[in-house]
Structure 1
Amino acid sequence: MDGKSGIFLFCAAVAWIAVGYKVAALARNPRNLNLWVLTLCIALPAAGFTMAVPAVYTAVNRFFGVPNLASLLVYGCIVGYSITALVMLMLWHMPAAEALPRARVLAVFYGLVLVAMAVLFANSGATVEAPSDFDDVYGPRPVGGTFLLVYVSAFAFGLGVAAWRSLQFASRVARSDGRPWLRRGLRLVAAGSIVALGYCLGKGGYVVAAWFGTTLPALSDVGTLCACAGALVITIGFTIPSWGPNLSAAADRLGRARTYLRLYPLWHAMYQVMPEIALDPPASRRADLRMLRDLDFALYRRVIEIRDGRLALAPYLAPPDGTPPPDGRGPDAAGGRTAAATREAIRIRDALARLRAASPERQDADPSAPAARETRSATPAQADDDGDLAADLEFLGRVSSALRRLPPATTATSSPGAPVRS
């Protein structure tokens, strides 16, 4: 198998996977016209790439008994895709009652293009099998070249309109409901269509150059690469509005899990000195990781327990150094937030040392033993009432990371004495 066949198989596999994904959706919603059109829009290039593989190409020709018929079928599928894509975009952009009459006009145009391609193919004299280089063999000929030019012209028309419509619709979505994954999908369809236009330019340029006696195989090869790359991007663009939100949900969950794990050093430092802050303390670090199964509850509990620990430490905290907190703007904002978090981590470390020194009985406390603690529960609503939770989580995460890196408190800091009065 040569490199071109491998690329065709890869593109076909990706497209057929997307088709299977949409067929499963059709089984749940068989009356959805948009879904039918979208499935056809992906299936047509999938069939085209499949038949372009030399082994399949030869089998199709042998089955029908017509040499090189697979070329006509492949190019018919590609033109059919460009027309179906326009119908799909119209159904996304306007009501079905308004889109269907325009779709019929496109169907008539597609039919005329297919008839012209079939007539030219029948008169091209393509009687010798050329599964890998049909364009190179028959493109330089007058009729064969005209057949290819009709094909790439119709394809280029569909791609150009699809790119324009996609960008237009993406701007409309951004101004209205702002669905991010639909907007991204439309922009990907536009980008893929523009890339695929390179295929039309390459194939058309190859034919015209051949008619003038110049052979430029590089144009044909680059065009094929543009077609494959554009098809992949377009396939992703048409399907990403349905599976993209799952990526957002997964990324959000991963971010919350990372925050939960990041807060562990701060929480654990407080829990070792004040075990009563924990509602349901884990027996070990591994047990703590199992809390990720109920991530929302675990994260909100962790924040509340850290806040409770911070309140309990208030009498032992050294006064702030007077440096104003960063306002979150400007190039030095991140550095300022890190410095503020480090200062807070030092205050908490020293306050924990003072509390431990002031209460010697805590030094021998068994963190896993039952402690007299309030039975508290946390809900997202309760946590949100305490301010900007996202900003709070970010700052607490920085404090926890800074605390993990700090050396132990000095002896002077740890010496017994009265609580610090700020």
Structure 2
Amino acid sequence: MTVVMCLTAALFVLAILWKIYQLTQAPHDRALRAVTACLVCTAGSFSTGFPPEKRALDAALGTGTASLLSNVLLLAAVYSLLTFFLHSAADRHRATRRARLEAVPLALTAIVITVATVTAPPGVRGRPYAQADLHTPQIAVFFVAAQLYLVYALATTARWTARYARMSQKPSATGLWITAGSLAGMAAANALRVVMDLTGWFGNGSAPAGLSHSVALLFALAVPAFVVGLSYPGLAMRLAGFRIWRQHRRTYQRLRPLWDLLHDAFPQDALGRTPGGKWREAFRMRGVHRSYYRRVIECRDGLVRVSPYLAQLGVQDGATPQAVAEHLRAALCAQAAGTPATTEALAVALPGEDSIDADARQLVAVAEALVKTA
């Protein structure tokens, strides 16, 4: 467990450092401030679970201090999450005013659980939730107050997240709806915990086992869903970007037969450095899009240059890729021999729509037809 906690702490440190760096680039971004505060508070709450820190806090400031600080920081983290979605879904003035109002229940809850901790008997302070003596009023008030705030803050955040989701487009909307559902699930889990606390406080026995199982199930579903919801838009965009990257790389490679011919004939039309070998092209990760656009443009320029010679061989304006491929080598030979062109440039292998990807598909058809006619 210590190894897992250390790894988690390291991840928190890296995430916080990254957010601090982003804040230095955008110091007035209130949503980014809220995310950074949420991470800092969550990391602080987590760190109080380390036995050395917990013992040091309890020894220096009294038994139960570590538990109190952990819960106050957790409440602050949820408040920061709430303000993040406020700043994301509302205009700046309204979000700022609402964030100040939302600080009031946070402050009141922090005061209540602090008073409950201070006035509780030392022997029952600071116990984990599963071992808490809920028959002691101060302990019951501590957990009920903290969880009531969590229910309120999480439910409010879920509502604002759903509102932001309705304003967004996919894939952001999908991730936000998942996040909203997970927050609602966590709010429901904490609401059931309030019922369990009240049962333990006023009842003679423990809470029904069904309640405990329901809470565990809700948290088991909601927490991973929350992570998935936050990660989904970025992952979806990365996946879409990878698909485009793969498509451009494949098209770049498929154009090589056509590009080789045209580049040998018109080397002056090259827009950049001559590509390396096939293995290098296959595994190069950077600059794929730039290489793709350059190759498409160079192939199209080459066809425009050789089109008068294609016309002399009987190729008509608007000819198909197959017709171009059948006469391209002969046209390039005529051009290389210095035969004068008696016609103007033709529009050949034209795409049906005005886009570079559609143009690339026509050029690929020429390249594939060239391979077949070799």
TM-score (norm 1): 0.62
Q: What letter matches 1:200 in structure 2?
A: N
Aligned-residue RMSD, C-alpha? 4.8
Aligned to 1:389: 356
Question: Cα gap change, 1:12/1:231 in structure 2, threshold over 3 Å: closer, same or farther?
Answer: farther
Aligned to 1:378: none
Q: Which runs of 5+ in 1 are unaligned?
A: 321-343, 363-369, 373-382, 415-422
Aligned to 1:267: 256
**Deviation per residue, 1:5-25 (Å, 9 max, x gap):** 94x666655444332222112
Q: Matched residues in 1 for 2:255 and 2:352: separation?
A: 22
Aligned to 1:323: none
Aligned to 1:135: 129
Q: Matched residues in 2 for 1:61 and 1:158: separation?
A: 28
Aligned to 1:161: 156
Q: Percent identity?
A: 18
Aligned to 1:326: none
Say if 2:191 is the partner of 1:193. Answer: no
Specify which of 105, 114, 117 is matched with residue 113 of structure 2. 117
Q: Matched residues in 1 for 2:115 and 2:57: separation?
A: 19
**Deviation per residue, 1:118-151 (Å, 9 max, x gap):** 22233444626866xx111115435223321221
Q: How far does residue 154 in structure 1 lie from its aligned partner after superposition?
A: 0.6
Q: What letter matches 1:169 in structure 2?
A: Y
Specify which of 295, 300, 309 is matched with residue 302 of structure 1. 295
Say if 2:15 is the partner of 1:26. Answer: no
Q: Tell me the matched-pair count.
A: 345
Say if 2:63 is the partner of 1:67. Answer: yes
Q: What letter matches 2:58 in structure 1?
A: N
Secondary structure of the equivalent of 2:114? helix
Contact persistence 1:86–1:162 (CA under 8 A): yes
Aligned to 1:152: 147
Question: Cα gap change, 1:97/1:201 in structure 2, threshold over 3 Å: closer, same or farther?
Answer: closer
Specify which of 259, 262, 276 is matched with residue 265 of structure 2. 276
Contact persistence 1:117–1:150 (CA under 8 A): yes
Q: Matched residues in 2 for 1:16 and 1:81: separation?
A: 16
Q: How far does residue 185 in structure 1 lie from its aligned partner after superposition?
A: 6.5
Specify which of 274, 285, 297 is matched with residue 278 of structure 2. 285
Q: Which runs of 5+ in 2 are unaligned?
A: 339-349
Contact persistence 2:179–2:229 (CA under 8 A): yes
Q: Matched residues in 2 for 1:295 and 1:95: separation?
A: 39
**Deviation per residue, 1:237-277 (Å, 9 max, x gap):** 9xx8xxx59x9589648724641443323432563588315
Q: Matched residues in 2 for 1:249 and 1:118: separation?
A: 45
Question: Cα gap change, 1:273/1:228 in structure 2, threshold over 3 Å: closer, same or farther?
Answer: closer
Q: How far does residue 79 in structure 1 lie from its aligned partner after superposition?
A: 1.7
Say if 2:202 is the partner of 1:213. Answer: no
Q: What letter matches 1:213 in structure 2?
A: G
Q: Matched residues in 1 for 2:160 and 2:283: separation?
A: 49
Q: Matched residues in 2 for 1:203 and 1:400: separation?
A: 68
Aligned to 2:344: none
Q: Matched residues in 1 for 2:331 and 2:356: separation?
A: 32
Aligned to 1:336: none
Superposed, which structure 2 residues align to 1:230-241 within 5 Å? 232=227
Q: What letter matches 1:38 in structure 2?
A: V
Contact persistence 2:23–2:29 (CA under 8 A): yes
Question: Cα gap change, 1:256/1:393 in structure 2, threshold over 3 Å: closer, same or farther?
Answer: farther
Q: Matched residues in 1 for 2:198 and 2:24: separation?
A: 47
Q: Matched residues in 1 for 2:33 and 2:243: separation?
A: 34
